[in-house]
Amino acid sequence: MCQLLGLNSSVPAGLGPFFDVFAERGGRTDEHKDGWGIAFHSGKRCRLYTDHRAAIDSPLAVRVRRGALRARNILAHIRKATQGRIAIENVHPFARQLWGRTWCFAHNGDLKEFAPAPGRFVPQGDTDSEAAFCLLLSRLAARFPHGEPATSVLRDALAEVAAEIAAHGTFNFILSNGETLFAHCSTHLHYRLDDGRAMIATQPVDTRDGWVAFAAGELKAFGSGALHP
């Protein structure tokens, strides 16, 4: 399946060498070679870079490495296709507008017999991942028609819809609105808190202590580099 890497920070930050380790898994040290993408997300501003080529073969990945881009939230994804064509429209992260914000989403997993009815948000590609993202946002928009609720309320609503979707298979994901980074685990997801930064990864990207495994079915919210209470 795919792999995820996320960062939530109290101040704009970069992934630094962690991106190098992650990108190498995109076709050299691992088999995730069906595309890659990264979103740099701070407040209402989101810069999204995607490529259907493997990260190790992507000139865009080289430019991102050299660019030293920084943000308070970063979502990165390397793809091993299980559903959907190898095409740019199927590369994560995906982005949509809700409540005056950009929301970015990336998924690791495989959802079987998952064909939700069309809602406010409609997929542009043909992956189960984008369909799940659109269902999440459509449900949130319907549940909170007057605007974005408090983070704790939003987290609980997301957990409810995530559990419904996860009944169809593996649903590990990271989701950001530019302020808060939400992470949900079905099978494999880890996080580490370190000096105002929260790192989230499918598998740890270094050998330092402090990585904590999510429990299956757990959804956490991170803000300003810390766990949201």
What phi and psi, each to the nearest 5 degrees, are found at residue 22?
Answer: -65, -45
- Upper half-sphere CA count for residue 54 (Cβ side, 13 Å): 13
> What is the four-CA torsion angle of 116, 118, 119, 122, rounded to 10 degrees?
100
Residue tagged active-site, from 2, 46, 104, 134: 2
Is residue 185 annotated as part of the catalytic site, yes or no? no
Q: Compute the Cα dihedral for 55, 197, 176, 178 and give only its sign.
A: negative
Q: Look-up: residue for tokens 């076709």?
A: 27
Residue by residue, DSSP assigns 129-145 as HHHHHHHHHHHHHHH-T
Q: DSSP secondary-structure letter at 70?
A: -
Of 106, 79, 84, the residue nearest 2 (C-alpha): 79
State how far the Cα of 111 lies from the Cα of 166, in Å rounded to an integer.
7
**Pair 9, 197: CB distance under 8 Å:** yes
State how far the Cα of 8 lies from the Cα of 70, in Å rounded to an integer.
11
Active site residues: 2
